[in-house]
Amino acid sequence: MSTSASATMLIAGDLAPIRKFAPLMASAPLSVYGDLLPLLQDSALNIVNLECALSGTQSVVKSGTVFRGSPEHLPSLAPFQVVTLANNHVFDYGEEGFADTCELLSAQGIKYLGAGKNRRQAEEPLRLDFAGEKIALLNFCEGEDCTAAGRSSPGVFGWSPQRACQLIRSLRQEGRQVFVIVHCGLEYIPFPPPYVQNAFRRLARAGAAAVIGHHPHVPQGIEYYHGVPLVYSLGNFAFYQETKLYYRKIGYLLRVTLGKDRRWQFEPLPYSIEDDGLHRLTGACLEAFPALLQRLSAPLPKNNAQAWHGFLKYYGLAGFQEEVGRIMAVLSEDPGKGLAMFRNRLLTKQHSEHWTAFFNRGINRQLSDAPDWAWQLNQEYFTKHV
């Protein structure tokens, strides 16, 4: 490829061959991408988050649901040259499932990053040449369910913005443009919690060319911080959820173009997630998407704290009582699972930040002190149906 020509990469959110997509991704592997497939085929580099193991015989005891695909799902990854593994599901079937998954990816010629046999491997950036530009990918996540790699134990590149910043600076000294992909944040809410925004901004100050997030399973906004795009959540990708809630059924690819002028351009490409796969948005839904992205993005520079308070107001005492009641019910039937759920709330950043902020504002009688626009959009995210 000529270094004077433009080139594109596509960065996607969560992929897992589960639920209704499991048989589809086995029998007709590429059909799940629908009319997004030509975009993937025309792109020079495609990156997706593999949100499961592709093998394994024994699941772990953890807070959330366990996900597993199978080797027969490997062909569905054919459009992707790179998968990120720093997430909360790649170790759902333990070290065996993780090791088998890495072997399958390598056999397919797919590069991966974000997890490894030890901390050094998990933290290793992926260095690439892209259309004559030296780039690097960096991938880390919240080490949910104690899956962060140790000095001599396998796991993911866990939650360490400080270490990620060190690696960014080192890669910048090599003359590389660094794209950071982070799996983090509280699920299903329209705005990032303050700790996520603070971390993304810190990565930008360290020299990242862009910071891209997933894990919330819904789309969130984009903030340009000193010219660096901070994409807080792409939403689900090839990840099926048994729900009719609208915002869990849409997402967007991030198209990154290196222009002839050697400048990066960023464009969201929205789609819907249907029973038969992915479809680009059309008609009224497509026309409404820019306004939605604007609603999600506008508060980020100055009013994201108020947006966060809107979620805490929506969650409220009723939400806390429901969540604790659900955990207690599980605890009585399956103590190991229930304890894992409590441990996750205490040790994982998304939950500890959520509960701590909820406690503090509740104690100070501030839960109702949130602007209407913030409360309304949070309510919409949890109630609007397709």
Virtual torsion, Cα 23, 29, 34, 36, nearest 10 deg: 140
- Tens of pLDDT, residue by residue over 111-131, are 999 999 999 999 999 999 999
pLDDT at residue 4, as a whole number:
55
Kindly report, residue by residue over 300-319, the tens digit of the pLDDT.
999 999 999 999 999 999 99
Which residues are CB-neighbours of 95 under 8 A, at least 6 positions away?
154
- pTM here? 0.97
**Taking the domains of the chain in order of start, what are their residue ranges?**
7-302, 303-383
pLDDT for 348-372, tens place per residue? 999 999 999 999 999 999 999 999 9
Summary mean pLDDT of the chain: 97
Q: Which fold has domain 7-302?
A: Purple Acid Phosphatase; chain A, domain 2 (3.60.21)
At residue 2, the pLDDT reads 43
* Residue 263 predicted with pLDDT over 70: yes
The pairs formed by 264-270 with CB atoms below 8 angstroms and a separation of 24 or more are 264/177, 264/209, 264/210, 266/210, 266/222, 266/229, 266/231, 268/222, 268/293, 269/10, 269/36, 269/39, 270/219
Query: What pLDDT is stored for residue 60 in this prediction?
Result: 96
pLDDT of the residue at 14: 98
Please state, for a pLDDT cut of 90, what percent of the chain lies above it: 97
Residue-level pLDDT at 179: 98
Share above pLDDT 70 across residues of the chain, in percent, rounded to a whole number: 99
pLDDT digits (tens, 9 = 90+) for 174-204: 999 999 999 999 999 999 999 999 999 999 9
